Chain A
Amino acid sequence: DAGVIQSPRHEVTEMGQEVTLRCKPISGHDYLFWYRQTMMRGLELLIYFNNNVPIDDSGMPEDRFSAKMPNASFSTLKIQPSEPRDSAVYFCASSPDRGSKTQYFGPGTRLLVL
């Protein structure tokens, strides 16, 4: 299995631009998570989905952030408009089922907003 795939791996953009991060979970996994990691705040859960349905988005910082999961093999995290304080590494993770609880992380997208 290829594991969780994220794209792009690196993104540099200017303040005010729209940023779209993409994730392909491991096939057959029912759960998908988006995290943000910074030195100051550590690892933060932004939102997670079960069977393509958002379950908890309480970690989404503000209305500039949105996430979708149109099907079982694809999810996006969008920031519009982006701000310098959004600079971070964004991870996508997936989990196979309710009993397992183990999460499999992608390699992350390193975002820099200038």
Chain B
Amino acid sequence: GDSVTQMEGPVTLSEEAFLTINCTYTATGYPSLFWYVQYPGEGLQLLLKATKADDKGSNKGFEATYRKETTSFHLEKGSVQVSDSAVYFCALSDPGGYQKVTFGTGTKLQVIP
């Protein structure tokens, strides 16, 4: 079945450092790929998405490129801020069928001043 594997956390970075959170997936066909973010005490919210190979999703300075050849969707940001401290979830959805989304286990990011 479909699965998502993302790097273990927590990840601790200094403010203005470069961020990479790795995500790889296993799926049949051409899934849509997502990054969700969860701030403390809140629900998940969509950060960015990509629906086909080589698409780049971007939002709030975060980027991720859909790489079908490596089945990856790594999240990057050039300069993190303290306000980016949160848990980040990589996810995929099957292109057919219903709206079910498979989530990764989440990676906690802590940015220190």
Question: CB within 8 Å of B: which residues of A?
Answer: 4, 31, 33, 42-43, 45, 48, 50, 55-56, 91, 93, 95, 98, 100-108
Interface size of B by CB at 8 A reads 18
- In the bound complex, how far is the Cα of B90 from the Cα of A37, in angstroms? 15
Contact status of A48 and B99, CB under 8 A, knowing A42-B106, A102-B34 = yes
B8 to chain A, nearest CB (A): 12
B98 CB, min distance to chain A CBs, angstroms: 6
Q: Are B43 and A105 in contact (CB under 8 A)?
A: yes
Interface residues of B in 1-52 (CB under 8 A from A): 32, 34, 41-46, 49
Task: Spell out B's residues near A (CB within 8 Å).
Answer: 32, 34, 41-46, 49, 89, 93, 98-101, 103, 105-106
Instruction: Judge whether B32 and A107 touch: CB under 8 Å.
Output: no
Q: How many angstroms from the CA of A91 to the CA of B36 in the assembled complex?
A: 14
Q: Return chain A residues, CB-CB under 8 Å to B41.
A: 107
Partner of B101, one of A91, A98, A103: A103
The CA-CA distance from A105 to B99 in the complex, in Å, is 14
